[in-house]
Every structure is written in C-alpha cells, then in structure tokens.
Amino acid sequence: MIPQFASALLISDLHLTPSMPLTAQRFFDFCEKEAPKVEAVFILGDLFEYWVGDDAAASSPFQQEVQRAIANLSAKVKTYYLYGNRDFLIGKHFIKKTGMTLMSDPSTVEIASQKWVLAHGDALCTADLGYQIFRSWVRKPWIQKIFLTLPLNWRKGVAQHLRTNSHSQYQSQQRSASQQRKMDVTREACAAVLKDQSGDRLIHGHTHMPKHHEETLGNQNWQRWVLSDWDLDHPESGRPRASALLIDSAGARYLDLNLS
C-alpha cells in the first residue's frame, strides 16, 4: 500500500550550511508556517550541503538546530526523506531523531488522488557517465562503511574537496549549453523509471532547473515537475530563490517562498 495524502509540500536541494543563514532561517520558518498546513512534507534530498556521518551532528550546533526543526515538524505532519547526492550518508540515528520516514529512490506516493513518482534526480542524469560511475561506487555499503571509520576531520576534508569540484562543474554548466544538457536528466531515464513504477507523473530535484515539463518518448507520455534549489544568501548571483511544490485538490503548483 503506497502512502496516500490529500495534500503535500515537496522541497529539495536546500544545501543547508551555517554559511547560508538566510536560507537556513527560511527553512526554519517553512517548518513552522507553511509545512504544517498540509498532510505530508517530502524532502527529496540534499537538505544539507554535505553530510559526513551522524556522529558529526553531535559537534554541530547548526545540524542540531535543523534536527530540532524537523522533529517539531514531524510531530505535526508526516515527513518523508529521500537521499540526495550530497547527504546520502545520513544514517538511522538522524532519521530517528527527526521523526522522518526514509524513502527509497524512486518511490511512488498518492497525493490528492493521483499517483506521483518521487526521485532526487541524480540517477536520471545518465548522459553524465563519469558521475554515474562515481555514484555507483559511493553508494556501495562497504565503501560507505570504510569512509565512516575515517577521522571526522578527514571526512570533512573529502567533503570540502567534492564541494569545490561540484561548484566548478556548476559554473561550467552555466557557461556551456552542451554541459548543461549533459548534467540534466535524460528522457530515456525518466521513461524507464516511470515505466518501472507504472506512473506518468514524476517529481525530482538535483538539476536546479525548476520547471513543469510535458514529455513524450515512444508511446509514453508523462509530466515532470522539477523542484527548485534554495539560495537566499547570494543576491549577487542574480538567482535568489526558494520554493516548494504544493499538491492538493486544486492541482500542482509552485509556491514561491522567497516572497512569503
């Protein structure tokens, strides 16, 4: 039996970090104001800029503050989490402390009497072969087990190195149309996951390119909703934004949290 709700809010790619206080505060406000008005909240990955193990949260007042905010939300509405490419090392301890329910990627839910397939989105970027090889390795349990035994400062160093590489890659993506296509989801991957899940409505994040698409491949037709990333701390970039996807009896639409 898949989860069924009359209304829901979906968010992803907040990349929370102490160096982005305005974005973090908007998330805390979201947990108190908008989120309790629906029956369920789905966080589709990359809640944090990086996560190097649940043990790191014990020495991080910021991560503990986020944990408390989600725990308070989970006491009011059903809250789900799906791993992103930045925080797939979130473990059972953090999930239990927040009261969230961990979902597999992809997962199918029913919201407002319609079936929706939920994913983070990185596994759908199949044109980026280098990333897919990297992803297949870092998701191996034995690799993760070894990494989590390393000293905490080593793990943070590795995370910082990966963040730097990701930022450089994103800047390249902004400059090059071909690179942007490479780092976007492919229709073939979307069609395959929807066929496997027997669905025709897909919601994902990861690409930071929020938009509603109507797509076709062969005899398959589907709708694809892309969630926005959040960044209210860098107005110089020209792209301050924070939004959620609201689904209820009136349909699906983006809720601009930057104006709320």
Q: Which domains does the chain have, with CATH numbers?
A: 4-256 (3.60.21.10)
CA-based nearest residue to 119, from 13, 221, 39: 13
Rounded to whole angstroms, the Cα distance separating 112 from 221 reads: 20
CB 47 within 8 A of CB 83: no
Query: How far is the CA of 106 from the CAs of 7, 191, 239, in angstroms?
Result: 20, 13, 29
Q: How far is CA 154 from the centre of its chain?
A: 25
CB 44 within 8 A of CB 84: yes
Q: Would you tell me the crossing angle of helices 141-148 and 129-138 to the nearest 10 degrees?
A: 70
Rounded to whole angstroms, the Cα distance separating 189 from 129 reads: 13
Looking at the whole model, is its pTM more than 0.85? Answer: yes
Q: What is the pLDDT along the chain (260 residues), one digit of tens a residue?
A: 898 999 999 999 999 999 999 999 999 999 999 999 999 999 999 999 999 889 988 889 999 999 999 999 999 999 999 999 999 999 999 999 999 999 999 999 999 999 999 999 999 999 999 999 999 999 999 999 999 999 888 888 888 887 776 654 555 455 565 566 778 999 999 999 999 999 999 999 999 999 999 999 999 999 999 999 999 998 666 677 899 999 999 999 999 998 65
Rounded to whole angstroms, the Cα distance separating 162 from 89 reads: 14
CA dihedral for 108, 112, 114, 116, sign (positive or negative)? negative
Rounded to whole angstroms, the Cα distance separating 38 from 77 reads: 7
